[in-house]
């Protein structure tokens, strides 16, 4: 644990992972991090979209990448005239939203930036307007994550060993950071998370950077770790939460929630807000990725050539297995998520 709980606890993947520059968007390649720290340069919105699809960036990274991609579309639009200007941005928005359909954060940030472009005056630079708006979106995202972390930390007890799955980005790291600021000693148990090993590479590295003692386990060890007392609390981020309390997250979340329920261990799902456009699961597309990805790890084939793969990238945890959905505004029963929208936000209270 850190000896200085008052310091700012921001790991590399959150402090500097997607950078919007004059010549494009530079994305830290999370497929090889932390063993290599290389950047993928995207000069166009199409290149940003492909980087998102090819898993150069994951979790909340696509939010920032998509925002940067919209800024690039604005710069391209400035080279057009009349109605063509907005048409360029609208086409870019459609392309970016299609990259990862399960997580609604890309959809939401792109929709907001598209609204900014539509509201701009004809003599304004769409590149400048969208760049400023994209940076503001990023700042707001991190601020909401800090609020979310503070809410989640209140549910973590001093001395807890917290199990987390996959890479929860600023949701999970802010929860640990807030617990540290509260003076709590917490440790982490991290699933490796096949096939990209985000837990072993991204979560373990990021929690280690902020001083959290972290143990990596394989994906098939979670239930036994709970059974033998190595886990006190189960916490994950969520890619989407429907209004009726279903939690959509990296595949493997559901089986761990089942094990946590059996062992009477609380499961907390972290998200900025439930999705008001998703009343239930019928409105959510569960992304299925290339089955070949399951047959490889870190570029090396791990299965027989006689085998075939199957890769649903997400699964769904029903509300009866969720102890609470933690948002930037509070902690809610999965059966009462409408209360999030009636609660005052920090901005409302200023």
Q: Which residues are tagged catalytic?
A: 239
Q: Provide the 3-class DSSP secondary structure of residue 330.
A: strand
Cα–Cα distance, 32 to 24 (Å, whole number): 21
Cα within 13 Å of Cα(147), Cβ side:
18
Prior bond to 195 cis, omega within 30? yes
Cα–Cα distance, 127 to 107 (Å, whole number): 20
- What residues contact 348, with CB distance under 8 A and at least 6 apart? none
Helix intervals (H) in 185-318: 198, 204-209, 222-227, 253-262
What are the strands of the beta sheet with 324-327, ordered from one edge? 213-217, 187-191, 161-164, 233-237, 267-270, 324-327, 330-332
Q: Provide the 3-class DSSP secondary structure of residue 123.
A: coil
Cα–Cα distance, 106 to 238 (Å, whole number): 14
Residue 317: what are its φ and ψ, rounded to 5°?
-105, 120
Cα–Cα distance, 197 to 201 (Å, whole number): 6
Residue 320: what are its φ and ψ, rounded to 5°?
-70, -15
How big is the chain by its Cα radius of gyration, in Å?
Answer: 20
Cα–Cα distance, 223 to 230 (Å, whole number): 10
Q: List residues bridging with 187 in a β-sheet.
A: 161, 213
Q: List residues bridging with 300 in a β-sheet.
A: 297
């Amino acid at each position: 644990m850190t000896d200085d709980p008052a310091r700012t606890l921001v790991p590399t993947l959150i402090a500097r992972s997607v950078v919007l520059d004059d010549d494009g968007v530079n994305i830290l390649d999370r497929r090889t991090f932390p063993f290599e720290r290389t950047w993928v340069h995207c000069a166009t919105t199409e290149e940003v979209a492909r980087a998102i699809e090819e898993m150069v960036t994951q979790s909340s990274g696509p939010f920032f990448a998509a925002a940067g991609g919209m800024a690039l579309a604005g710069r391209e639009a400035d080279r057009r005239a009349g109605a063509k200007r907005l048409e360029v941005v609208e086409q870019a928005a459609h392309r970016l939203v299609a990259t990862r359909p399960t997580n609604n954060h890309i959809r939401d940030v792109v929709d907001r930036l598209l609204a900014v472009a539509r509201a701009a005056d004809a003599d304004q630079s769409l590149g400048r307007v969208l760049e400023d708006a994209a940076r503001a979106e990023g700042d707001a995202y991190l601020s909401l994550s800090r609020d979310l972390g503070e809410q989640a930390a209140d549910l973590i007890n001093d001395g807890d060993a917290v199990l987390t799955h996959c890479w929860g980005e600023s949701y999970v790291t802010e929860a640990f950071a807030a617990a540290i600021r509260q003076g709590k000693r917490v440790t982490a148990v991290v699933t490796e998370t096949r096939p990209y090993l985000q837990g072993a590479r991204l979560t373990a590295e990021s929690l280690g950077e902020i001083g959290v003692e972290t143990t990596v386990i394989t994906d098939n060890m979670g239930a036994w770790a709970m059974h033998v007392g190595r886990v006190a609390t189960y916490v994950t981020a969520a890619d989407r939460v429907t209004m009726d309390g279903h939690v959509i997250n990296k595949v493997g979340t559901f089986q761990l929630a089942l094990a946590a329920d059996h062992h009477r261990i609380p499961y907390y799902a972290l998200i900025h807000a439930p999705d008001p456009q998703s009343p239930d699961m019928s409105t959510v597309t569960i992304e299925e990725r290339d089955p070949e990805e399951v047959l490889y790890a870190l570029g090396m084939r791990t299965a027989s050539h006689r085998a075939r793969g199957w890769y649903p990238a997400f699964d769904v945890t029903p509300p009866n297995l969720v102890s609470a959905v933690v948002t930037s505004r509070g902690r809610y029963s999965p059966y009462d998520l409408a209360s999030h929208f009636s609660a005052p936000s920090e901005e409302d209270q200023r």
